[in-house]
Structure 1
Amino acid sequence: MSSSRKQSNKKNKQNTNKEARILSDTLLTFLKSNPSAPLNTKQISSKLGFETKEEQDNIYKALQTLLLLGEIEEVQPGKFIARKPFQVLSGRVDYLSSGNAYVISPESEKDIFIHARYLANAYHGDIVKVVLFPKKGGSPEGEVLEVVERGKSEWVGTLAGSPTNMYVNPDSNRIPFAIYIPLDVSKGASPGMKVVAQITDWPVQQGMDARGEILRVLGKSGENNAEMHAILEEYGLPYEFPPEVEEDAERISFDLPQAEIKKRRDFRDTLTFTIDPADAKDFDDALSLKELGDGKWEIGVHIADVSHYVTPGSRLDKEAVKRATSVYLVDRVVPMLPEKLSNGVCSLRPNEDKFTFSAVFVMNENAEVLEQWFGRTVIHSDRRFSYEEAQEIIEGKEDDFSAPILLLHKLAQIMRGHRFKDGALRVDQAEVKFLLDENGKPIDVYFKIQREANQLIEEFMLLANKKVTEFVALPKGKKRSRPFVYRVHDLPDESKLQDFASFVKTLGYHLELDNPKKISKNINALLAEVQDKPEGDMIRQLAIRSMAKAIYSTKNIGHYGLSFDYYTHFTSPIRRYPDVLVHRLLQTYLDDENANPKESDLEQLCNHSSERERLAAEAERASVKYKQVEFMLERVGRVYAGVITGVTEWGIYVEIEETRCEGMVRLREMRDDFYFFDEKRMAVFGKSRKKSYRLGDRVHVLVNKVDMDRRQIDLLFENL
């Protein structure tokens, strides 16, 4: 073959390849512009104007090439779409005890599941980049590409090993490795001590251990103080005030300056009292009552004027912002404000003059608000009642304060009835409480339920919170609301409600969801139906979990659970920072109705307060869990009645009715048969004997083992 002919063939081949690439690029561009409609060769040819058989054959070949290159995919036989590019998102790791994790990303509506083998060296709380796997429907899954930022480097745990080879076993099941501690950075701690360790060298992959140093020694593992401090450390909650903050608090006087008293509305001669828990010392609120005649009463809701003492930008204020909330563990209160303020200067103690911020209402016998007034006041509480003492009066005990308490009780019950008629949710739960000995050891467990005395205070606090919000949000003559801090509660997630309805159906109950306006009333009816049933507490908990979490925000969406269009927190500034903000904002608008605080600053404080509230609630639950497990430590071998509250592929969770402690019966310990988990029916079935265990079943269990380090109770079914 001549060289000129070879060159000609080579040139023709190059032209053919070039034409094929151009055609492939044209097809890919076209398919990308039609991402949702799978098309076949004939449809593509028609839309691009290729009509001859040769042109259609070339399109078919180009499609096959693109398919091999992974640029397109064949979603139906002979039908193609452009493959979506791999999506990379950023988010925070939520590590599971199973070793798997979820990544919570603001860029994804659903949390992204990450199998343990795709976690790389990412751990709980880390900010990571993940690539999503191509997937049709269902929950998104992905793989960690890199750790952008470590979320947490300090971990609480128990020091173990020998004096020359020590390591920390973290308390949290969200960290799957031990932390090796060299002797020269052990702070003199010895095995058996509860410590806070900082990781200095992270494991390069899952299954390896870390290296670190001891930051703080909390005490001996198992001792009450050490364990409670460990819980606070675990959630990043400070339990000591900086010395300079304590000093600032100590300089504040109990005396009320006459010049300041003259600026305030004086209620010291009006009948006033407080109703609080028997062991409370931080009295946030008081009620006053004065009869006006013609079936009208002046009722004052008086709230501790914390904002008078804690001024913006002060060291006291900065520390209060940092904490954002008081924390209520089983055996102690960790206050937002130093004790001099929380239990002293600000607390509305009896027989003392106190500065307050008040919401004052003129009401009739139908609990209708005829007039309202908001402003700074001075009060003198005539008496302090515990809830138990007030309840005795409501139930008929004679007392000098019987008339005012019974009147307020009557009005509170009317307001309560209106709330539930309007669609407010009834999700009150019994609170688990412990009787502790002098060493903090639980010697008894009991349940605290809400009674009419609690409801009396609750309804007037709700009234004040609601009316303050309406006053700010609905200013007369204004077209839009003013910047404010709202307490908001979103509508329930539809899929969670459907799951809840499906679950209660398996227990023989019906929850109607067709009419959105009646969902809350239908939930109330269901909860009333299961009130005294063994499975009632579990169903209440699941109902709460199906709801959104209430948060603080400058964007008002109303409060679904209370059925209020406008709501805030005004009534507990000693223990909640948002209430302090609300007091300041209210005074700002009382002084200048055209004031315009910076909304972005308020939103930042709202987000911070919501997060601190979440951490405090988790710490409170952790302290209850610890005491529940500790209480069961000396009850190994006893048999208790319980209710199945969870079913998994590895075991069955049972809540003991007498103590509300939850433990697990492991499937491997159920040796009378081979049991398997049916996820759809949320039940465990025996293969041979066909015995079943379902959510909500009432059972009897034996306490087999208690592990304080893991906070776990191992149970066995009785007579199995």
Structure 2
Amino acid sequence: MRKNKSKRKDKPASKAGLPPKKEKKKGGKRMRKELMVVSIVNAFQSSPKEAFNYKQISKLIGVENAVQKLQVADILYDLAADQFITEIDRGRYKLHDLGSQATGTFNRRSNGKNSFVPEDGGTPVFIAERNSGHAMDGDKVKVQLFAKRKGAEPEGEVIEILERKEATYVGKLQVTKGFAFLVTEDKTLANDIFIPKDKLKGGKSGDKAIVQIEEWPEGQKNPIGKVVDILGQAGDNTTEMHAILAEFGLPYKYPVAVEKAANRIPEEIPQEEIEKREDFRQVLTFTIDPRDAKDFDDALSVRRLENGNWEIGVHIADVTHYVRPESIIEREAQERATSVYLVDRTIPMLPERLSNLICSLRPDEEKLCFSVIFEMNEDAEVKKYRIVRTVIKSDRRFTYEEAQQILETGEGDHKDELIILNTLAKKLREARFKNGAINFDRYEVKFEIDEKGKPLSVYFKEAKDANKLIEEFMLLANRTVAAFVGDPGKGKTKKSFVYRIHEQPNPEKMENFAAFIRRFGYKLKTEGSQTEISKGINRLLDSAQGKPEENLIETLAIRAMQKARYATENVGHYGLAFPFYSHFTSPIRRYPDMMVHRLLERYLDGGRSMPKAKLDELCDHSSNMEQIAANAERASVKYKQVEFMKDKLGMVFDGVISGVTEWGLYVELNENKCEGMVPIRDLDDDYYEFDDKNYCLAGRRTRREYRLGDPITIKVVQANLERKQLDFMLV
């Protein structure tokens, strides 16, 4: 017989043999569920601003029984699902802020899935077209919320348009005898825009035009608008590029008044200005830029010092010497925030007289610069540096291809200096990766284009040593000026500054990425120090190099990262592994670099810290404009890809599944990297379901799967230039 050696600790030893007493129920009688729900609702409504967890709610409504506390937790979960309460963080809820009416932004969609986003955040509300009150995308509106139906998404109706967002639409004109329409592919508008004959501004059928909506009378299917500008005949290259800019709300021509102001700026540098600066006109200096560049922001100078070290000067065009605060040129640059690089042209941030002539560091011309001068030893260690205003005279303008040839052959102009710079750059790069920088060496898709803008061929631009040489010295200058202000030393007050920040990746995204790449046989550590994780990503990218899945893995790795942005609060730059980083080296094409130049000038002269509020506003605007410009650039590449494939209908290509959505498969072609879609309606051998966790479409009956990264063979069936869309079918 087994002996019970241990005595129960929850009873006195003398009573161990007695039958247990019936536990007295805490909190008296058990509360019925219906009463519990009413009590919980009352508790939230009486304290609408406070957040509670299930234990706090249990206490408030007088529930002490452990089983009933779990029931409280279940009720909270159900109330959150019904959107009566909101989970503000894990297990803590507060009353949903939306009353019966709310104010916020209306988002119009051409597929009828309009939505309303409350101005204080919260769950979007579905607005059916019949309940939209003809509100336009981006309008500030007041909405009447409908009673919540169990299991359905919240719905509402626009009852008042509080503020119209200034919006224009781009499309093709269809002109008849008495009236006209603008036919648009805009994703926010399902209806064509009616245009009275007297509001056509001379537009003809087939013209691309920009139209502003003036009214949308109740009961009418189409809004009524007026032509703001005629871009030209549809299909013409310049017309289409200007249409892309207009679609994204970007300017496609320069204001005459701004150009006139630029034309009044003298090219000659006064002698008294030269005397205020360090003179580098006799030091060997050159630029290395793309073949078609005209705006040379940066130059490098190099000379051997008596102590055997190297003096490397990173010289940046002194744009803010010419563009004064509050001037008409300044206001235009601030609004644009960036130059836009479309597939075949540059839309400059500054007038061309400044960007391509006065500020551009052209060879054999004296130019004003803001410079960081480094003293470095043979191991590329910075022994000291200074940030100074300079005057330079570039000895030579290299294209990347010319500089690369000299590095490869060891023959050509200034070969010794180029080789020294390349050696130092490689050491800087090596140290950067050792510290945990991530090595995204992506190629760019480029087009060989004829004089009419027609794409003749596709090629891929890869970064070689000449590109990396320039990149490393620009990175060095950018992080040096950021640390100069952001890390002033013990006892010194940190002053406001504009940083380029890149936050750590979202852990959930990294977990999903690691799970996905396991099917290719790769492993990725997602926990540990920042350096360990980034080194793991580098090992992954190295091992995928040259394999069919290389591009896919690099694309997904980038998607798992946060977006870099401008901010006054420094959190460092994760991708580059720099604790301090800024943008200082491209003021001709980026407004934040102009901000950094102004702040440096102020602080070098002993000025007080700038107020943060205005800087924050400009940082947000610049980050936003950078994203819009990138989207426009992608749209222009997409347009050229569709144009390039237009005469290849019926041809068969091998590709890889580059995207999986509920509406179909995106396929990137191996040969030219053009991307098109196989619509789900064409996958007619089964009913396919979208599995967003595993990036795949799975057939319900056959269990056939189409996964991200799978090789696939397609036939080109349609090339729609208006929609910038290629349609493929499976072979």
TM-score interval (norm. to shorter):
0.7 to 0.9
What's the CA shift for 1:511? 2.4
Query: Are the equivalent residues in 1 in contact too, given 2:646–2:719 (CA < 8 A)?
Result: yes
In the superposition, relative to structure 1, how do residues 201 and 492 fare at CA in structure 2: closer, same or farther (>3 Å)? same
Which residue number in structure 1 is paired with residue 495 of structure 2? 482
Report the equivalent of 2:675: 662
Residue identity in the other structure for 2:536: N
| Cα distance change on mapping 1:438 and 1:700 into 2, 3 Å | same
How far apart, in 2, do the equivalents of 1:324 and 1:164 lie? 42
In 2, Cα distance between the equivalents of 1:539 and 1:622? 23
The 1:397–1:636 alpha-carbon spacing in structure 2 relative to 1, beyond 3 Å, is farther
1:535 alignment counterpart: 549
Aligned-pair Cα RMSD in Å: 3.4
Structure 2 contact 497–568 (Cα < 8 Å) conserved = yes
Name which of 442, 445, 457 aligns with 1:429. 442
* Structure 1 residue 641 corresponds to structure 2 residue 654: yes
| Paired position in structure 1 for 2:322 | 309
- 1:698 counterpart residue number: 711
Distance (Å, rounded) in 1 between the aligned partners of 2:253 and 2:238:
13
TM-score normalised by structure 1 residue count: 0.85
1:164-563 correspondence runs (5 A): 164-202=178-216, 208-476=221-489, 478-517=491-530, 518-563=532-577
Distance 2:83 2:116 in 1: 28
Paired residues for 1:41-60 under 5 Å: 44=61
Shift of residue 480, structure 1, vs aligned partner: 3.0
Distance of aligned partners of 1:180 and 1:351 in 2 relative to their CA distance in 1, 3 Å threshold: same
Counterpart residue number, 1:4: none
Offset, 1:497 = 2.3
- CA deviation vs aligned residue, 1:153-179 (integer Å, no higher than 9, x gap): 211111125343421122322322211
Distance in 2 (CA, whole Å) between partners of 1:139 and 1:355 is 64
Letter in 2 for 1:641: D
Shift of 1:297: 0.5
What CA distance in whole angstroms lies between the structure 1 residues aligned with 2:307 and 2:657? 57
2:589 maps to 1:575: yes
Deviations 1:65-103 (A, max 9, x none): xx9xx9999xxxxxxx99756467655455566543566
The answer on whether the counterparts of 2:436 and 2:577 sit within 8 Å (CA) in structure 1 is yes
CA distance change for structure 1 residues 572 and 402 in 2, over 3 Å: closer, same or farther? same
* Distance 1:487-1:72 versus aligned 2 partners, 3 A rule: closer
- Determine the C-alpha separation between the residues in 2 that align with 1:703 and 1:427: 31
Q: Is the 8 A contact 2:479 2:580 kept in 1?
A: yes
Query: How far does the alpha carbon of each residue in 1:619-666 deviate from its partner, in whole angstroms, 9 at most, with x for none?
Result: 111111111111111111111111101223332111112222211112
183-192 or 325-334: bigger deviation? 183-192
What is the CA–CA distance in structure 1 between the aligned matches of 2:227 and 2:602, rounded to whole Å? 47
2:124 to 102, 108, 112: 112
Relative to structure 2, which stretch is displaced further, 660-669 or 334-343?
Answer: 660-669
Task: Please give the alpha-carbon distance, in whole angstroms, between the structure 2 residues aligned to 1:463 and 1:554.
Answer: 20
Return closer, same or farther for 1:406/1:185 CA change in 2, 3 Å cut-off: same
CA drift of 1:142 comes to: 5.7
**Residues in 1 aligned to 2:253 and 2:205: alpha-carbon distance in whole angstroms:** 26
Residue 136 and residue 672 in structure 1: after superposition, are their counterparts in 2 closer, same or farther (change >3 A)?
A: closer
Partner Cα distance (1:687, 1:597) in 2:
61
Deviation for aligned residue 1:258: 1.0
CA deviation vs aligned residue, 1:113-168 (integer Å, no higher than 9, x gap): 74756972444333345688999999996646554433342111111253434211
Distance 2:39 2:669 in 1: 67
Instruction: Give the counterpart letter for 1:36 in structure 2.
Output: N
Return closer, same or farther for 1:612/1:193 CA change in 2, 3 Å cut-off.
same
Bigger shift: residues 553-562 or 506-515: 506-515
Q: Secondary structure at the match of 2:259?
A: helix
Aligned to 2:401, what secondary structure does the other structure show?
helix
Distance in structure 2 (CA, Å) of the matches to 1:436 and 1:495:
43
Asked whether the equivalents of residues 685 and 691 of structure 1 are also in contact (C-alpha less than 8 Å), the reply is yes
Distance change (3 Å), C-alpha of 1:304 and 1:534: same
Q: In the alignment, which residue of structure 2 is the partner of 1:3?
A: none
Who is 1:10 aligned against? none
Whether the aligned pair in 2 keeps the contact of 1:663 and 1:714 (CA below 8 Å) is: yes
Query: In the alignment, what sits opposite 1:78?
Result: none
Native 8 Å contact 2:40 2:57 kept in 1: no
- Paired residues, number: 666
User: Are 2:171 and 1:157 aligned?
Assistant: yes
Q: What does 1:601-616 correspond to in 2, within 5 Å?
A: 601-616=614-629
C-alpha contact (below 8 Å) 1:375/1:587 kept by paired residues: no
Question: Which moved further from structure 2: 131-140 or 468-477?
Answer: 131-140
* Deviation at residue 293 of structure 1 after TM alignment: 3.9
Indicate how the Cα distance of structure 1 residues 498 and 178 shifts in structure 2: closer, same or farther if over 3 A, else same: farther
Contact 1:329 1:623 in 2 (8 A): yes
- Give the secondary-structure state (helix, strand or coil) at the position aligned to 1:503: helix
**Cα distance between partner residues in 2 of 1:347 and 1:644:** 43
Structure-2 change in CA distance of 1:101 and 1:563 (3 Å): farther
The residue matched to 2:597 in structure 1 has which SS? helix
Q: Distance in 2 between matches of 1:337 and 1:90?
A: 39
Aligned mates of 2:301, 2:317 — CA distance in 1: 14
Q: Distance in 1 between matches of 2:83 and 2:561?
A: 43
Deviation at 1:284, TM superposition (A): 0.3
Quick check: 1:620 aligned with 2:637? no
Say which SS state the counterpart of residue 587 (structure 2) adopts. Answer: coil
One-letter amino acid matched to 1:273: F
Amino acid at match of 1:682: Y
Equivalent position of 1:707 in the other structure: 720
SS in 1 for 2:409: coil
Contact 2:715–2:730 (CA<8 Å) still a contact in 1? Answer: yes
Tell me the distance in 2 between the aligned counterparts of 1:458 and 1:225: 32
Code of the residue aligned with 1:182 in structure 2: it is P
Displacement after TM superposition at 1:30 (Å): 5.1
- Please list every run of 5 or more consecutive structure 1 residues that lacks an aligned counterpart in the other structure: 1-22, 48-62, 74-80
CA distance in 1, matches of 2:618, 2:501: 15
Contact 1:179 1:199 (8 Å CA) reproduced: yes
Structure 1 counterpart of 2:379, one-letter code: N
**C-alpha distance 85-91 of structure 1, shift in aligned 2 (>3 A):** closer
